[in-house]
Structure 1
Amino acid sequence: MHTAPDEPPPSGEPTPDGVSTAADDPDTAAAPAALRDLLAFEDGNALRLLCAPAGDAVVRRIAVGMDDLAPGRPGTLLLAVGAAPDARTVREAALRGACAVVLGETPPAAETLDAAREAGVALLVREGGVGWAEVAGLLRSALSYARAGLDDSGDMARGPEAIPSLAALAARVAAYVKGSITIEDTRLRVLAHSATGPDADPLRRAVILGGRVPDWRVAELRRSGLLRALWTARDVLHRPADGDTPERLVVAVRSGREVLGSIWAAADGAALAPDAARHLRTAAGLAAPLLVRERLRESGTAHRRENALRGLLHGLGDRRTHAWSLGLSPDAPCAAVVAEREPARTARRADDRALEVLVLELAAHRPGTGVLRDGDRLALLLTGDASAADHEAAVLAVVRELDAAVSSSPDCAPVWLGVGPVGPPERAAESYERAVLVMRALREREARAAAAGAPRPARYADAAGAGAAVEALRILDAARPVWESGDGPVHELIRADLAGGGELVRTLAAYFDTGGDVTAAAGRLVVHPNTLRYRIVRLRERDGVDVDDPDTRLLLTLAARLATAAPPP
């Protein structure tokens, strides 16, 4: 679990559990912070959200134990140390100003969850193996960091609480050093930058526009040894002007021994200030807690969003709480999209970038899209503000763009995109299930077209575009366990054939798919029509299976479809 660097110990008297009380915590006049922002600092290993509040809870203080609650002090996040994890505790805490309650690691009963929903408070539990002191320290650190971003007064020398954000710090440092500033993480991604003047050099513009240092520039920094020197040096480094590239100063931002990132100052049409290096040293100290906050927020937010998205798409846990964690209103129109590429083991191209192309396209044009990757599959949740009908059209337009992006990119394996129906967040799992069926139907449709020598069909569709194949797959999925548990001559024949290579199953599939047209089926199998006729006759004479009997024909058709169709994931 992440904790804040050099965080002072909580003040107040310790409880028997080792957690200090909130005696010195700010009162209700202190700057508030949203519960969602506090949870963004936590990676899900210490706290589990069970019930979301109505709207976003506003937290002003952390209280430890029921005795630390008092009416008239709203906005309290209660750590229910020593209290029973029951509905009475939740109701009493809500009446005394609690907006969120953290219970012990024992899972609460359903009536406790109902009480939290009725009271409009958030309900969380402490994960096993995590102590109350650790939870209190994490939440107090998160509250301190959240508050640090609310006041934009003062100057650089007043400390980190005077700098609300990395962007504000970049602007302030630029004014002191008389140049341009970029603040980057250890992956050389630009987290903040000062305003770009008319005389900014091309490299700075490329870095800002691209959101990171270009690969060619990284290679150059590695060759020159500057990157190695930056990560090991304790002071400001100077890089003199070179051709069109102006002079630069750079300093690493550290928290103890750990390097968090770097601050770069570039001359912007004029020489840097004589004391620019001194200001960069000060800025590095001020940037450290902000970079820690950025790292914690990024890690915690990503982890919680992924868990919430997975729960929403797969119908796990409380859907309303998952939607709250994703920042979705209960009536927001949502549609699931499932993208699956040709499996890596059978991909025809060695350098496959298909799913990466999709993720990049989404990041560029739909930054709020929820994305889950599982092997060769992406699950997407596309949300919007329009009506359901308008959102359905918008989703199909996005999917068309994604299909075009993959199709036009070299070295990309085929990708099929199935679109689920639009509905509120609580029905996202149903949309996901339908999107999976559509995607599977598209793959089967393409396989049949290839076998028949027909043109390749579209690789994206919604349920309407996929036609009857979606319902057929749904029925086949339901019938599969019944077939697999069955017995009799047809079952024995099919099982023996599949064990021997499946020639009969392939023959039956082609025969039934072509409506019993021997010539067309033989063409698909690349055999002589007489060969196919002989196989059918052999079924009757040697195996005692009459393909003209309606029930037998149904079993054989079902067996062939189940054997050639991919099972549900």
Structure 2
Amino acid sequence: MTPGTTGDGPDHVTLRQILAYDEEGVLRLLLAPAGEDVEVKGVIIGDEGAARPHDGRIVLAAGLAPDLPDAPAAVREAARRGAAAVVLREFEGVPVPAAALAAAEECGIALLARAEWADWGDTIALLRSATAFASVGRGDLMADSAAGGGLAALATATARYCRGSITVEDTQFRVLAHSATGPDADGVRRSTILGGRVPDWRVAELRRSGLLRALWTSQDVIHRPADGDSPERLIVAVRSGGEMLGSLWAAADGQRLSSDAAQVLRRAASLAVPHLLRHRLRESGTVRREAHALRGLLHGNGDRRAHLWSLGLPPGRSCAVVVAVQNAPDGTGSDRTLEALAVQATASRSTARVLREQDQVAVLLPVSDGGDPREALVLARELDGLAAGIPDAAPVWIGAGQTVASGLEASLSYGKALLVVRALRDREARGRDPRPVRHAGPGDVGPTIEALHMLDAVRPVWESGTGPVQELIRADLAAGGDLVRSLAAYLETAGDIPLAARRLVLHPNTLRYRLRRARERFDIDLDDPDTRLVLALAVRLTEVM
């Protein structure tokens, strides 16, 4: 029996359908003066053209300042041009202005807020997916059979009409849904369903045979005849416009496929579009929400309990943070190196949560009861070994923070991990270690961390002060800094001129001349303990700026 087909579906979706489709909470309805059944016929980002009518579209108010002072005017202008709704970005701790709500009420236009963790791309994807869902329509046997049951119902209905076994896969060859498997199902189908994805060896085989290339480029159903133990198969790509979303596979399961199986599969592919768009949106939303939550925990922002809930972590679970920092010149190799570290952390610690930000990777590592309290340091050592083995990579410094009693205190561990990284870089820059040490925990560089804390406290006093030492430092740095480096070596060796000269690769008399010049030109008395203390602090502050 061939399922009927319908014409093109509507090119619009109601606000109610969008909100019902929005499982991830990308949008929050603030008010809808005209009700939720208003039609949304498209989307406009910001102000696309000074006189362009909006004609029932939803306006994404991108570019407004965090305090949203221009929101009321933006709402009124959107309403004047005929928009159906306006979406404002929601900023943490900044409520939508009452004036914007009043403007929406006055103009009769719906007003929504975009979740802080989401971006405008997520909003566009949501609208596109919801519109596709509305467009598939009803009124034929295939659509009616699959209605309300998602991909699983669609796979079952498709299997019934084409008399075969169905799998629905995404572009990563993961099985999203499948029909019931009969006793005569071939081994590839059984292993694919049991493993939740197509086996790697099977993907390699399909790639070598050219079938994947054909699938990626074909607009129609691909037929693969039976071959030995492999039954006859039909495959079709699921596309939205020109974008590949996934594929449907029909395999003969103890009987021949129906004569109209290809037509059935085409219709099923069109019905699968909104479901696969939703799958992609859900994955994207989950990744963004978890990244937002992890960022909030590490930086101590927002509702930390809600962040833990988003990450699936109980508040009573101990944890520690590991941070890897790389300052690659011109970004050379930084993406490759940091991505490798992020993958390693995730692969080796299934409970770890990883955040990539600019030149660093931060890992929140839950510690089980009775677990090794130095687990974070063990991970730091593993990441250091991996980074050191990447050819031509810029240096990476890795710090492990202390273990805290709860993820609610993750910002404390994160801050300490960053201090460890800073201490490692400071020690390396000053040649404190015979060989560069690129990973450590707080206990390994404790004195250096304390020194850095003190220097941070002293810096405002130093920068606002005047006197001979300030004059010496500023004048010499402008001239190249030879005298500052000489004083640093002299003070670090407790006045041992021969040792300091060897560190500087100078003749001792050259060093004596420089010290004498400091006394004569800047009236610096190196025999005075207070002067030596101020000089030592000034030189260190210069090194760590």
Residue in structure 1 matched with residue 532 of structure 2 by the alignment: 553
TM-score by length of 2: 0.67
Change (3 A) 1:493 1:371: same
Residue in structure 2 matched with residue 487 of structure 1 by the alignment: 466
Deviation string, structure 1 residues 138-166 (Cα, Å, up to 9, x no partner): 999999x9xxxxxxxx9997115224669
- CA displacement at 1:562 relative to structure 2: 1.3
Q: How does 1:93-242 map to 2 (within 5 A)?
A: 132=110, 158-163=145-150, 169=155, 178=164, 181=167, 183-185=169-171, 188=172, 190=174, 192=176, 198=187, 208-209=198-199, 217=207, 227=216, 229-230=217-218, 233=219, 235-238=220-223
CA distance in 2, matches of 1:412, 1:280: 49
Change (3 A) 1:455 1:292: same
- CA displacement at 1:404 relative to structure 2: 2.3
Residue in structure 2 matched with residue 263 of structure 1 by the alignment: 247
Residue in structure 1 matched with residue 44 of structure 2 by the alignment: none
Q: What amino acid sits opposite 1:504 in the alignment?
A: L
**2:16 matches 1:10:** yes
Deviation string, structure 1 residues 519-543 (Cα, Å, up to 9, x no partner): 3322222222222222112211232
Change (3 A) 1:298 1:351: closer
Q: What amino acid sits opposite 1:446 in the alignment?
A: E
- CA displacement at 1:108 relative to structure 2: 11
Q: What amino acid sits opposite 2:249 in the alignment?
A: A
**2:418 matches 1:439:** no
Change (3 A) 1:133 1:519: same
Q: What amino acid sits opposite 1:485 in the alignment?
A: S
CA distance in 2, matches of 1:106, 1:409: 41
Residue in structure 2 matched with residue 398 of structure 1 by the alignment: 379
CA distance in 1, matches of 2:361, 2:354: 7
The number of residue pairs the alignment matches comes to: 454
CA distance in 2, matches of 1:243, 1:505: 81
CA distance in 1, matches of 2:32, 2:190: 54
Q: Provide the secondary structure at the position in 2 that maps to 1:548.
A: coil
CA distance in 2, matches of 1:523, 1:542: 25
Conserved in 1, the CA contact under 8 Å of 2:32 and 2:110? no
Conserved in 2, the CA contact under 8 Å of 1:420 and 1:435? yes
Conserved in 1, the CA contact under 8 Å of 2:397 and 2:424? yes
- CA displacement at 1:241 relative to structure 2: 8.6
CA distance in 2, matches of 1:250, 1:358: 37
Change (3 A) 1:181 1:516: farther
**2:277 matches 1:292:** yes
- CA displacement at 1:392 relative to structure 2: 2.8
Conserved in 2, the CA contact under 8 Å of 1:236 and 1:280? yes
Q: How does 1:216-365 map to 2 (within 5 A)?
A: 217=207, 227=216, 229-230=217-218, 233=219, 235-238=220-223, 249-255=234-240, 257=241, 259-263=243-247, 265=249, 273=257, 275=259, 276-345=261-330, 353-365=336-348
CA distance in 1, matches of 2:291, 2:98: 19
Conserved in 1, the CA contact under 8 Å of 2:341 and 2:383? yes
CA distance in 1, matches of 2:384, 2:235: 43
Residue in structure 2 matched with residue 379 of structure 1 by the alignment: 362
Conserved in 2, the CA contact under 8 Å of 1:337 and 1:417? yes
Change (3 A) 1:134 1:363: same
Conserved in 2, the CA contact under 8 Å of 1:206 and 1:214? no
- CA displacement at 1:455 relative to structure 2: 2.8
CA distance in 1, matches of 2:100, 2:385: 47
- CA displacement at 1:265 relative to structure 2: 3.2
Q: What amino acid sits opposite 2:277 in the alignment?
A: V
Conserved in 2, the CA contact under 8 Å of 1:173 and 1:279? no
Residue in structure 1 matched with residue 499 of structure 2 by the alignment: 520
Conserved in 2, the CA contact under 8 Å of 1:342 and 1:414? yes
CA distance in 1, matches of 2:225, 2:514: 82
Conserved in 2, the CA contact under 8 Å of 1:416 and 1:442? yes
Unaligned runs of 5+ in 1: 12-18, 26-37, 49-61, 66-103, 111-122, 146-153
CA distance in 2, matches of 1:306, 1:412: 26
Deviation string, structure 1 residues 108-156 (Cα, Å, up to 9, x no partner): 999xxxxxxxxxxxx99999799746579x999999x9xxxxxxxx999
Q: What amino acid sits opposite 2:16 in the alignment?
A: P
Deviation string, structure 1 residues 293-349 (Cα, Å, up to 9, x no partner): 2122122222222222222211223323332333332222222221112433496xx
Conserved in 2, the CA contact under 8 Å of 1:369 and 1:383? yes
Deviation string, structure 1 residues 3-40 (Cα, Å, up to 9, x no partner): x99655639xxxxxxx99xxxx9xxxxxxxxxxxx986
Residue in structure 1 matched with residue 73 of structure 2 by the alignment: none
Could you tell which deviates more after superposition, 421-430 or 364-373?
A: 364-373
Q: Provide the secondary structure at the position in 2 that maps to 1:331.
A: coil
Conserved in 2, the CA contact under 8 Å of 1:391 and 1:422? no
CA distance in 1, matches of 2:93, 2:341: 42
Q: Provide the secondary structure at the position in 1 that maps to 2:498.
A: helix
- CA displacement at 1:494 relative to structure 2: 0.3
CA distance in 2, matches of 1:251, 1:47: 36
Change (3 A) 1:266 1:396: farther
Q: What amino acid sits opposite 2:528 in the alignment?
A: D
Q: What amino acid sits opposite 1:337 in the alignment?
A: V
Q: What amino acid sits opposite 1:408 in the alignment?
A: G
Conserved in 2, the CA contact under 8 Å of 1:238 and 1:250? yes
Change (3 A) 1:165 1:303: farther
Deviation string, structure 1 residues 68-100 (Cα, Å, up to 9, x no partner): xxxxxxxxxxxxxxxxxxxxxxxxxxxxxxxxx
Change (3 A) 1:109 1:181: closer
Aligned with 2:435 (options 421, 443, 455): 455
**2:462 matches 1:472:** no
Change (3 A) 1:161 1:399: farther
Give the superposed CA RMSD.
Answer: 5.1
CA distance in 1, matches of 2:201, 2:13: 31
Unaligned runs of 5+ in 2: 1-9, 34-87, 115-122, 133-140
- CA displacement at 1:215 relative to structure 2: 13
Residue in structure 2 matched with residue 58 of structure 1 by the alignment: none
Change (3 A) 1:293 1:546: same
Q: Provide the secondary structure at the position in 2 that maps to 1:546.
A: coil
CA distance in 2, matches of 1:135, 1:408: 47
Conserved in 2, the CA contact under 8 Å of 1:39 and 1:301? no
Change (3 A) 1:428 1:108: closer
Residue in structure 2 matched with residue 56 of structure 1 by the alignment: none
Conserved in 2, the CA contact under 8 Å of 1:260 and 1:291? no
Q: What amino acid sits opposite 1:161 in the alignment?
A: G
CA distance in 2, matches of 1:465, 1:375: 26
CA distance in 2, matches of 1:201, 1:248: 15
Could you tell which deviates more after superposition, 259-268 or 370-379?
A: 259-268
What is the percent sequence identity of the aligned residues? 40
Conserved in 2, the CA contact under 8 Å of 1:177 and 1:265? no
Conserved in 1, the CA contact under 8 Å of 2:158 and 2:268? no
- CA displacement at 1:382 relative to structure 2: 1.7
Residue in structure 2 matched with residue 407 of structure 1 by the alignment: 388
CA distance in 2, matches of 1:155, 1:532: 90
